[in-house]
Amino acid sequence: MTHGMISAPQPETVDAGLEMLRGGGNVMDAAIAAALVQTVVDPQMCGIAGFGSMQIYTAATNSHYSIDFHGRAPRSTTPEMWQDLIVRECDDGFGFVLKGQVNETGYTSMTTPMTIKAFAEGLEKFGTRSLAEALQPAIQYCEEGFPVRPRVHGFWHQPAQSGRIARMRTITDDPASAKIYRKPDGSLYNVGEVLKNPDMGRTYRRIAEAGVADFYSGEIAQAIDADMRANGGHITLADLAGCETEHTTPLMGSYRGYEVATNKPPGGGLMILLMLNILENFDLAAMGFNSAQYIATVSEAMKIATVDKDRRMGDPRFFDIPMDELMSKDYAATMAARIKSGEKTPVPRLNAGAPESKETTHICVADDQGNVVNMTHSLGSSSGVVSEGLGFMYNNCMMVFDPRPGNAGSLAAGKARFTALCPTLLLKDGKPFLTLGAPGGTTITMGVLQSILNAVDFGMSAQEAVSAPRFCTTSDTIECTNRILRSEERGLQAMGYPTVRYAVSYATPIVHAIRMQDGKMDGGADPSGDGMAAQV
């Protein structure tokens, strides 16, 4: 390896990936070593008991590949089991508040743990290093500790909002979790203080020695099953043994002469292609970057995609998605004509009032040969549960299922919930041009979309593309970060759009990207995170 680049939301992650590249590893080796470090240093954003989507591009064969590892509802799940507990739908349409928060925290909030299986499979198929080797940097951070970063500390202190729990509960309610994240005097770790997780280190050493099968059918699986049975959890040995990732090819589309490769449902790539197809019918550059006209036009595409997501996208194993229509340029042209006529798309919500938690992480790796690994992985907003002695936290992805039977996202045994995860790669003349993705709940697709537009329509570098002022429209209201000009916001209001302005200059999603142009690479790390882009 003579040249490679990594962009990710954590410096420790970038460092671990670069070390793997320096040592002769390839992009997959670097991506998995880095991602495993993410599970240690961002332990509520991601973990080996989480879910995600991985995109692989191999330059020598011009081949695209995807590993989907969305978690699935346990076998005991029934469509009607929570229908009498509904309090409200989140205002971005991605999750529900239920009485007792049974879908958000604790042992009933988990889908099957898929992440470590996907990591092992990625290495086996595309890597040159073993899982045991890739685990070593993560084990070191578990045992020697890492300084708590501002984003980690900030997550712990997020208050309860609109029926959602205070995030503090994810590290204090469960005794095994509290043991890790509270100091001996009971206080929380502050920014810069070193946090160690020796239990996670022992689990990782066990996986390195016994293999990933131990997590799904061996000693670790037995410990998980015992903990679930003791605490009313739904995940069983049968659920663990039945965990299977999906190996597939990505969705392929185009935008202004660029090929666009992104993930299939239940990931959010279909939304990316739909929005790009709609916006291809407009001269966005002529409108002016972040002008009122531009924001309104892009927002309408966002709303159309959101409504189609809510009504017509889901787990393809359980729901018949009209893929041909939603991916067609003709459908997009019809939607564009609707926008041009001045029609505003309403986004219906059920007793809206609670924003979805936006906790996930992303990593981009590319080398000078054009090989790419692009991955988003997550715990949702984390269940708060740690099995005693194992050290890792479980996901809480049952939160985003629809508790109303009969809908696209309704509960069902073995079902994955549609998510906005959308690792995406653009190619120009058959060569990679831009690889990117983000954490951030339903805002992921909206941030990735704007970063693509920034790079393609406005010629921005990777860093400029992910740093430029953004807006988000997943409801009838256009949400503006504080760097959107007030004069343009007034223009939106004059058009009849409700707006809300956030005090922050940068907000989720936390987009990361690598641009490859004229034989050179430049990386972008969203300033709203703690991350960086670096090369070797």
- Residue positions annotated with a catalytic role: 360
Burial class (CB in 10 A: 0-12, 13-18, 19+), 202: middle
Residue the block writes with tokens 């992480």: 361
Q: What CA–CA distance (Å, rounded) separates 336 from 338? A: 5
H/E element holding 216?
helix 213-217
**Are the CB atoms for 417 and 266 separated by under 8 Å?**
yes
353/356 Cα distance (integer angstroms):
10
Q: Give the residues across from 8 on adjacent strands.
A: 532
Phi first, then psi: give them for residue 258, nearest 5 degrees. -95, 140
In sequence order, what are the residues at sequence separation of 6 or more whose Cβ sits closer than 8 angstroms to the Cβ of residue 328? 277
CA distance 488 to 497: 12
State the Cα–Cα distance between residues 450 and 158, nearest whole angstrom: 26
DSSP-based three-state secondary structure for 332:
helix
Alpha helices in 109-197, H assignment, sequence order: 115-126, 131-144, 150-156, 169-172, 175-181
CA distances from 279 to 201, 311, 330 (A): 47, 21, 12
Nearest Cα to 238, choosing from 251, 250, 222? 222
